[in-house]
Amino acid sequence: MAAGNDGANTPEDDDPFGYLYADGQAAGAQRPQGGGYGYPGPAAQPGVPRTSYNQVRTVGERQYGGHAQQPQVPQQQAYGQPHPQYAAPETYPGGGQHRPGPPQPAPRGGRGPNTKGLLIGAVAVVAVVVAGITAAVISNSGDKTNDAGGGGNQTGAPGQVSESPSVTPSQSSQGPVELPQQDAATLKLGGSAALAKDIKGAQGADGAYVTGFNAIGSSVTWQADVPEAGSYYLYVRYAIPAKDANATLTVNDTANSNPIGLKNFISSSDPNLEKNWQTTWAPVTLKQGQNTIKLSCEQGNQCDAVFDWLKISKEKISG
């Protein structure tokens, strides 16, 4: 077959990139000088393959101002450092918006934080706290002192303290006041009342007691002192011949409407007075200071009894 008109270039030269490959170079492919695919050349002629209007250059080769620029070989990045290709836009000139960094300390000699004022404020707060704790400790100590000393008790709303009852000179802070007790034999006797020591069991001094009370007009009178006005109990120790008796009780010149009972509480059937000593009581209202207490045999009383002692108490006692 006759060879046609293939133009001025050989087939190897038809590939504009043939000279870039190793096998093309081995085959003798050369960079076309007169144009070809991708290379500008002379005007198209019949039978001549068309040429490209864009001149293809070797990879890495570019003309700037008539000078060829050699391909740039990227330098090896240190391990752990970001590659420039992946650097943040902020790292390029004019790229990205500026992000504020951490606040910088004020330069020396400038107006920085008022550390002196802050220190003074902190010291003031600590002083207030210490003063509050000290006041609480002192307050608690004062409360304990009041409790130990028998001070006023707290009542009602917080902070209100009730005043303790007034104490008369006769009261002692060493303990409760001993209320009076008196032997009947030492009392003022009236009528046929007299002293005797024949009956055993009397608790008075030398065993003395008051007898002869069974006649109208007989009486024993006691001047008793109490520390404060109020209600009390009058106790009387007596002996009867195994039968009930009674007497009139007069306090500060006022006779009680009911006589004081001298009953046979032990239910004895033996008339021997020695075996019939017992105790009775009656409520009385006394004033502060001296009180006159009188037992008497009046019309209508059963007065067959002898008396050992009289005693005033705030509480009921047994025996």
Provide φ and ψ at 18, rounded to 5°. Answer: -60, -35
Please tell me the distance from the alpha carbon of residue 266 to that of residue 277, in angstroms, as a whole number.
9
Question: Can you read off the two tokens belonging to residue 41?
Answer: 């050349």
0.85 exceeded by pTM: no
Mapping DSSP to helix (H, G, I), strand (E, B) and coil, where does residue 119 land? helix
Instruction: Give counts: helices (H), strands (E), the chain.
Output: 3, 14
Please tell me the distance from the alpha carbon of residue 226 to that of residue 290, in angstroms, as a whole number.
7
Residue type, 35: G
240 and 202 Cβ atoms separated by less than 8 Å: no
Per-residue pLDDT tens listing for the chain (319 residues): 445 555 555 555 556 665 565 555 565 656 555 554 444 555 555 665 555 545 555 555 555 555 555 555 555 555 555 555 555 555 555 555 555 555 555 555 545 556 777 788 888 888 888 888 877 767 665 544 343 333 333 333 333 333 333 334 444 444 556 799 999 999 999 999 999 999 999 999 999 999 999 999 999 999 999 999 999 999 999 999 999 999 999 999 999 989 999 999 999 999 999 999 999 999 999 999 999 999 999 999 999 999 999 999 998 876 5
Among 215, 213, 220, 206, smallest CA distance to 239 is for 213
CA atoms within 13 A on the CB side of 154: 8
Mapping DSSP to helix (H, G, I), strand (E, B) and coil, where does residue 308 land? strand
Question: Can you read off the two tokens belonging to residue 128?
Answer: 């207030």
Please tell me the distance from the alpha carbon of residue 43 to that of residue 40, in angstroms, as a whole number.
9
The string of DSSP letters for 230-273 reads: EEEEEEEEEE-SSS-EEEEEEETTEE-SSPEEE--TT------G
Query: In the chain, how long is the greatest CA-to-CA distance?
Result: 192
